[in-house]
């Protein structure tokens, strides 16, 4: 991802004055141990925030983990809270194009000026902890550890009324867990990052359950039985209340509509009908149900019905960039950050329900720590042709290797390979232009989605 510019937006206005400094900060952060190698420790981040005066304790936190749907659910929660008039902070990862996307204040990426100023404020403390860690024979702060401290400090500086914090990886030892979430939210849990989190759903769930704090409100999507057992165990241990989708709350219905879908949800404290959600996919309707229950838990302890007009606004203005997002027309080009098998299955299902393509070309790039074979198996049935490429990430599976996987898993699907995302996307768009009702879907990794957005903006065909 370091090959992507921090920003290529010529319309940043006064913020462009701080672009060079912001680029320098980002490069300094990138010089640390990367996100592909997270440190399974919490003490280092805890030491930084202690030196900073524990900024994460200056506002309430809604903490979110899971395997799929974390970012979308986080963004829907934030949108509803903002509709209530609260000043919100949102921390998510990774970014698509600009690193500022990871730290949102009131729904907007942090300005370059604030990004630089807040980093300069905390840098002496990062250096101090780096020195302490080296003296103890440990690795200095990693990228995500330093960035988490920056996010918490930025929200305190804003200041925000509430922060919605998305876990980077796992939960128990994730850097974000130095914050204590009054509400702990769990999206669906499945196998991913098995080398770090464990090779069973139960082990992964146990690690993620580490974000549950004493007396917290816990809201969870429908889970596999073994995962739910771990959440129940942790909730009981922490004397936390547990609300499970399907019993305590549920999605009553969702209907395809122009630009998204109309949903009805039975929440913890009320039923909310005919809400327009401008996101595609049945899974996004499920994410919205979880988000509503989380906001109910935060604002009224799960016992106070949300204000109808405010909820309607919050749902209707929610967005989730890079998730079944249409970025081009004539031909239609869709990007989706499906980077694991469950995400790929959700994408394949949504294409058949929410779009009317006769044929689809899939531009695919996968990172080397992902289950490429299962991703291909999920996508091949909806693909007329798969155009294999490698994103700008150093962790991208080489083109030849990924093409071989596609040919082995989907021998009846046409496969082409391209050295760069630009070449693959250009070829896919040319293919789609040759016949009506053809579409292009770019997927497989978040870094590939970022590459696609940069290309679309540069060539002027983005929506």
| Same domain, yes or no: 299 and 379 | no
The reported pLDDT for the residue numbered 1 is 34
The reported pLDDT for the residue numbered 11 is 47
Examine residue 8 and state whether it is found in any structural domain, yes or no. no
Give kind and range of the element (H or E) at residue 6: none
Examine residue 110 and state whether it is found in any structural domain, yes or no. yes
CATH classification of the domain holding 350: 3.90.190.20
Output helix, strand, coil percentages for the chain, rounded to the nearest 5: 45, 20, 35
| Same domain, yes or no: 311 and 342 | no
Query: Which two tokens mark 420?
Result: 């760069």
| Same domain, yes or no: 142 and 228 | yes
Alpha-carbon gap, residue 196 to 305, rounded angstroms: 40
Examine residue 152 and state whether it is found in any structural domain, yes or no. yes
| Same domain, yes or no: 312 and 345 | no
- Strands 325-328 and 332-336, how do they pair? antiparallel
| Same domain, yes or no: 309 and 350 | no
| Same domain, yes or no: 143 and 286 | yes
The reported pLDDT for the residue numbered 195 is 61
The reported pLDDT for the residue numbered 20 is 92
367-383 pLDDT tens trace: 988 899 999 999 999 99
* Neighbouring residues of 426: CB distance < 8 A, sequence distance ≥ 6: none
The reported pLDDT for the residue numbered 2 is 37
Phi first, then psi: what are they for 430, rounded to 5°? -65, -40
The reported pLDDT for the residue numbered 208 is 95
Alpha-carbon gap, residue 109 to 442, rounded angstroms: 24
Domain extent at residue 343 = 325-459
Angle at which helix 19-30 crosses helix 143-157, to 10 degrees, equals 140
The reported pLDDT for the residue numbered 198 is 67
Are 293 and 271 in contact by the 8 Å Cβ rule? The answer is: no
The reported pLDDT for the residue numbered 4 is 39
Examine residue 339 and state whether it is found in any structural domain, yes or no. yes
| Same domain, yes or no: 329 and 312 | no
Alpha helices in 251-409 (DSSP H): 282-300, 308-316, 341-354, 372-379, 399-409
| Same domain, yes or no: 290 and 425 | no
DSSP 38: -
- Beta-carbon count within 10 A of 183 CB: 28
Q: Is the dihedral of CA 280, 282, 288, 291 positive or negative?
A: negative
Q: Is the dihedral of CA 214, 172, 227, 287 positive or negative?
A: positive
| Same domain, yes or no: 92 and 47 | yes
| Same domain, yes or no: 292 and 352 | no
| Same domain, yes or no: 266 and 412 | no
Among 263, 298, 316, give the residue marking a domain's end.
Answer: 316
141-181 pLDDT tens trace: 999 999 999 999 999 999 999 999 999 988 999 999 999 99
DSSP 310: H
Alpha-carbon gap, residue 360 to 363, rounded angstroms: 10
| Same domain, yes or no: 345 and 454 | yes
CATH classification of the domain holding 47: 3.40.1190.10
Q: How many residues belong to the chain?
A: 463
Examine residue 3 and state whether it is found in any structural domain, yes or no. no
DSSP 425: H
Examine residue 391 and state whether it is found in any structural domain, yes or no. yes
Among 316, 334, 367, give the residue marking a domain's end.
Answer: 316
Residue 61 pairs with which residues in a beta bridge?
A: 163
Examine residue 389 and state whether it is found in any structural domain, yes or no. yes
| Total domain count, the chain | 2
SS3 category, 380: helix
The reported pLDDT for the residue numbered 13 is 53
Burial class (CB in 10 A: 0-12, 13-18, 19+), 236: exposed
Examine residue 51 and state whether it is found in any structural domain, yes or no. yes
Model-level pTM greater than 0.85? yes
Among 316, 338, 365, give the residue marking a domain's end.
Answer: 316
The reported pLDDT for the residue numbered 70 is 95
Burial class (CB in 10 A: 0-12, 13-18, 19+), 296: buried
**Residue ranges for the chain with pLDDT beneath 70:** 1-14, 36, 192-199
């Amino acid at each position: 991802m370091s090959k992507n510019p921090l920003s290529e937006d010529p319309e940043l206005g006064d913020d462009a004055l701080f672009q060079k400094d912001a680029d320098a900060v980002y490069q300094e952060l990138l010089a640390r141990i990367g996100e592909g190698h997270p440190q399974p420790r919490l003490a280092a981040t805890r030491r930084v925030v202690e030196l900073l005066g524990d900024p994460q304790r200056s506002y309430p936190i809604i903490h979110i983990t899971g395997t799929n749907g974390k970012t979308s659910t986080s963004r829907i929660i934030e949108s509803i809270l903002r509709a209530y008039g609260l000043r919100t902070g949102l921390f998510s990862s990774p970014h698509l194009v600009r690193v500022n996307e990871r730290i949102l204040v009131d729904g907007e990426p942090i300005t370059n000026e604030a990004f630089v100023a807040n980093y300069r404020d905390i840098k002496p403390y990062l250096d101090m902890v780096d020195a302490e860690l080296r003296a103890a024979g440990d690795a200095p702060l990693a990228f995500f550890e330093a960035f988490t401290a920056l996010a918490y400090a930025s929200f305190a500086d804003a200041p925000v009324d509430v922060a919605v914090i998305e876990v980077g990886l796992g939960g128990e030892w994730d850097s974000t867990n130095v914050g204590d979430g009054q509400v702990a939210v769990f999206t669906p849990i499945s196998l991913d990052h098995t080398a770090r989190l464990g090779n069973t759903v139960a082990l992964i769930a146990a690690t993620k359950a580490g974000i549950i704090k004493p007396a917290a409100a816990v809201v969870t999507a429908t889970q596999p039985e073994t995962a739910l057992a771990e959440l129940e165990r942790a909730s009981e241990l922490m004397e936390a209340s547990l609300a499970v989708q399907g019993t305590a709350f549920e999605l009553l219905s969702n209907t395809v509509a122009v630009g998204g879908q109309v949903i009805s949800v039975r929440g913890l404290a009320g039923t909310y009908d005919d809400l327009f959600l401008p996101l595609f996919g049945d899974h996004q309707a499920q994410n919205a149900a979880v988000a509503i229950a989380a906001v109910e838990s935060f604002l009224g302890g799960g016992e106070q019905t949300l204000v109808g007009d405010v909820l309607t606004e919050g749902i209707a203005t929610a967005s989730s960039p890079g998730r079944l997002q249409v970025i081009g027309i004539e031909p239609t080009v869709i990007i989706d950050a499906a980077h694991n098998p469950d995400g790929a299955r959700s994408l394949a299902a949504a294409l058949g329900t929410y779009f009317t393509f006769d044929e689809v070309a899939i531009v695919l790039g996968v990172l080397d720590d992902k289950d490429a074979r299962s991703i291909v198996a999920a996508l091949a049935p909806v693909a007329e042709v798969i155009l294999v490429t490698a994103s700008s990430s150093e962790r991208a599976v080489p083109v030849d290797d990924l093409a071989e996987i596609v040919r082995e898993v989907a021998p009846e699907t046409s496969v082409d390979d391209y050295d760069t995302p630009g070449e693959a996307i250009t070829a896919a768009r040319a293919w789609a232009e040759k016949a009506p009702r053809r579409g292009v879907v770019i997927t497989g990794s978040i870094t590939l989605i970022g590459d696609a957005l940069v290309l679309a903006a540069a060539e002027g065909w983005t929506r």
